Structure 1
Amino acid sequence: MAEGDLTVLANAKQWLNVSTTNDDALLTRLVSAASQFVQTYLNRTIASAAYVENRTGSGSDTLALANYPCTAVSSLIIATVPVSPSPDGLQAGYVFDDRFIYLIGNAYAASAFPGTAPNRFPKWPPQGVQISYTAGFATTPLDIEQAVLELIALKYSDRQHMGQVSKSIQGEVVSFFMGDMPKGVQTILNNYKKVIPV
């Protein structure tokens, strides 16, 4: 399994009902290609990864994270001032959920940012908020994996009729799908499509 793959060869073969090893190299390539296509479409990485993000503050006590779901925050620095995590979600510091990081109480010395409340992400200096965190899924969500399997199946079968829109078989006309992805796959993926944080 290559880095970034959203399913494994065995699952692809099971979905395609392929029991031989004749097409293993082709299917391995299709697993990686379909996984990359999905993540490009979603504009995000699905697997858990570490990120360091430099952002301009929102002016509020809430800042959206660019990658999600967030599972851990290792540090928050606002214009070189480290901010500690809140020990209980009530005392001063920061807390986070899967999409946002929040400031609570007097999270940093007010003197560091004149004119800014100490529980706000300051808009000045630009790109002055640095967040180091981990986000993503430990395992590929089943519906995303199923979408990848259906794309693999589509491309695997396309080999038999590349570029053909339809053909006649024993007097019956058979039409072939010519789009980027089936509507059902697109519907699943749209649930995970990355929204640019504000």
Structure 2
Amino acid sequence: MTQPLPFGSPGGKAPRLEEVMRDVARGNKDAFATVYDAVVDTVFGIAVKIVRDRAQSEEVTQEVMIDLWRQASRYRREQGSVRTWVATIAHRRAVDRVRSAQASADRDHATAVRDQQRPYDEVAEQVQTRLESEQVRRCLRGLSELQRQSVTLAFYQGLTYREVAEALRTPLATIKTRMRDGLIRLRDCMGVTT
């Protein structure tokens, strides 16, 4: 069981924080309350200066005070005052909070940018396809009957030259010539450059 602190020592002097920290390290809640009251305003002030958000600063202050309770045994009097040690913890926690918030904002921004960037505009793609289809139909109307039939069977039905020749009952050499001439005229009509 922990012993109460001699807060009212003879002569009215309160114990120094460095002495009280030994009792905090032993789990004395009254000692922790004393240290808490002595440093909480400093911790909050550091947090507000770095984080610049009151709610976030309050969270940082709470985290620092929990760290103080849990890590009290790590405090070394010869390395500095309790206030300096706590201020260092507060500064690190506040900087970590700012970095974490910035990283989160960066991730959110990257996600938003990625979601806005589409690989293509679907409406524009549909309009372009429709316009190209209309242009192909118009250009096909400019071919001779044999050319149009040959190209249509080959490209829209997937027939080979031989199958087109059989379907149209036309010699294979004629189909090849008509297809070549028809494709040249289609290319010129559509404005395709090679």
TM over 0.5: no
Q: Name the one with the larger strand percent.
A: 1
TM range (shorter): under 0.3
Q: Name the one with the larger helix percent.
A: 2
- Return the structure number with greater relative CO, CA threshold 8 A, min gap 6: 1
